[in-house]
Amino acid sequence: MNQLFYQTSWWVPVYGLIGALVTLPWSIGLVRRTGSRPAAYLNILMTVLALIHTGFVLWAVWDQPPERLLIPWLSVPGFDIWLTFVTSRTSVGAAFMITGLSLLAQVFALGYLEKDWALARFYALMGFFEAAMTGIALSDSLFLTYALLEMLTLSTYLLVGFWYAQPLVVSAARDAFLTKRVGDLLLLMGVVTISTLAGSLDFTHLDLWAKTAHLSPWVATLLGLALLAGPTGKCAQFPLNLWLDEAMEGPNPASILRNSVVVACGAYVLINLRPILALSPVVLDVLMILGTMTAVGASLVAIAQIDIKRALSHSTSAYLGLVFLAVGTQQDDIALMFLLTHGVAKALLFMSIGSVILTTSTQDLTEMGGLAPRMPATTTAFLVGAIASIGLLPLGCFWVMLKWSEGMGNSMPWLVGVLLVVNGLTAFNLTRVFGLVFCGEPKPKTRRAPEVPWPMAVPMVTLTIIALLLPVLLLQWGLLPAWDAINPTLALLLVLSGLSGCGAGAWLYLRPQVSQPSDLVWQSVRETLAYDFCIDRLYKISVVLGVVQGARLTAWFDRYIVDGLVNFVGVASIFSGESLKYTISGQSRNYLLTLFVGVMLVLTALAWTYWSLYF
């Protein structure tokens, strides 16, 4: 039976593709009389089957060593490409998490997009989304992983641009797609290079190759930077971090997955590539610099946002920066635990704010307030998700942060400082959002806000229970430290950083005496943070300006050099043809005279050249 589960593990991504395909008759309008609901139900059914299948595979492989499944894809003399899947506790567990959150997000979408005319198209894209993510989780091939990352980029573009009738949505989808394409292009260069150097694209073989590889520092650095570019774009890290902010223009159910497991897929690829990145100390330094800049910078930017989805999306980039730091210090187990705990907490937060957005018809924090007594389930979900996201006992992220800080406390104490700063800023931001949305006096858009219907409430309450039980599961899996092994100083610092952030946020946003807390900060600082340190302007004066000037130079060269040369040849041909037609007389003596004169001119030129050279 276990062997059967091993051999059929590659079916898990296929369920999502089948779900996307069976919804096509409704998506393209062939079936209209039944409405879009059957398409949603069929896609949810395929996700349920994928979840059940993944659960059985996880049960079968829990105590077993990893096994690889090879499927031939291309075979030519001297070159073979295999689609390789790996069934291990980590890979199948990641797929189980993806299918579980995808199921909850799809059920949530039944209520959120109930009246949307393109509901079937949304579920088709969600099935495509799910197939790409589960495939990345189970893939042991860099070639297959790159192809699935391209699927993920395409599905991100289509889901962000779901409401394509809005100009802002169209520009957001375009910007998100192009930003991620920069990282994908550099990653493709790295994939081609590593296939030449290592002779294989399987992560298992690349790990073994990296242990004995002898590359020059330049080659190792350039290869590592190219491979690092892909996860940097997928995880929304500086300088490719703006796409996640733009992606918040899409529907909220897609944002649930995008901020929990989509960005985690990029970090998962980064963890698989870590042995190759470790060949160059420069690459590891760059990895940690990017992680530090994004973790601290995105935490500050999140505080200045008045759009509720953007306030949380920037904190996603900040926490993925912490994952980058964990990978940079070669603590892969800590990085995986970060992805698990943060993914559950962030999905719960986006479900709660999705409920708020649906009932209030706004994403502006300044138009909200007083929702706690009107939406108790949503308020509870937000509180649980917020506590699970920061270093406060007893929920998941506290234990992961504590375990990471204990490992880095002696060797790199400055990383513990970064962790405490990010934890405090995130706690402040979540308290700010809670105060503006759920506390205070009701605003015109929140006076009659009801609690969400059951298709949204059931997955939200379910995920709340999962977030509360996650520390128990981590304890059962043996991932939490024993009480006697805990460093009390680090634990106290971690709790104090979270409490200080919550306390500062409560002092400013939960007291009616403070009317405008934003006035306490200089306007220039507020605008700099609100516009993400003006990175878009940096793009315009660097990348965009370079592309525009390069395009102008190319256009000038094409117009005046290439076209000028071609036009000159054409004019010369016409002029010579028009001139030679007058020499056509039909008399042989004229032709012989012309030939004689030409030969004499050539001989004269040769004689003059010889004389000038030797005499």
User: Per residue in 24-47, pLDDT tens?
Assistant: 888 877 777 777 788 889 999 999
Going 45 to 51 to 57 to 60, the CA torsion angle's sign is: negative
In this prediction, the residues of the chain whose per-residue pLDDT falls under 50 are: none
Interatomic CA distance for residues 144 and 139, integer angstroms: 7
Q: Which residue has the tokens 């730091």?
A: 325
Q: With contact defined as beta carbons under 8 Å apart, do 46 and 168 qualify?
A: no
Using alpha carbons, select from 517, 489, 548 the residue that is nearest to residue 428: 517
* Cα-based distances in Å from 568 to 155, 571, 574: 49, 5, 10
Closest CA to 148 of 165, 134, 160: 134
Pick the closest to residue 355 from 370, 376, 341, 329 (CA basis): 376
Contact 137, 268 (CB under 8 A): yes
Q: Where are the alpha helices (DSSP H) in 361-517?
A: 376-389, 396-408, 413-438, 454-476, 488-509
What is the rounded CA–CA span in Å between residue 151 and residue 129? 8
Closest by alpha carbon to 66, among 96, 86, 94? 86
CB 180 within 8 A of CB 234: yes
CA proximity to 300, closest of 528, 505, 499: 528
Peptide bond into 442 cis (omega under 30): no
Predicted local distance difference test score (pLDDT) of residue 442: 82
Sign of torsion, CA 584 585 588 594? negative
Q: Residue 406 has what pLDDT?
A: 79
Place of tokens 């700010």: 432
Q: Which residues have a Cβ under 8 Å from the Cβ of 265 and sit 6 or more positions away? A: 132, 133, 136, 137, 149, 152, 234
Stated as kind and residue range, the H or E segment containing 83 is strand 79-87
Which of 370-373's residues contact partners 24+ apart within 8 Å by CB, and which partners? 370/438, 370/439, 370/440, 370/441, 370/442, 370/443, 370/446, 370/447, 371/437, 371/438, 371/442, 371/446, 371/449, 372/438, 372/439
Taking the C-alpha atoms of residue 481 and residue 474, their distance in angstroms, rounded to an integer, is 10
pLDDT (0 to 100) of residue 579:
65
Note the maximum CA span of the chain.
Answer: 115
pLDDT at 108: 92
Structure tokens at 440: 């205070």
What is the model's pLDDT at position 99? 93
Provide the Cα torsion 266, 270, 272, 273; round to 10°.
Answer: 130
Asked if 536 and 245 touch (Cβ cutoff 8 Å), the reply is no
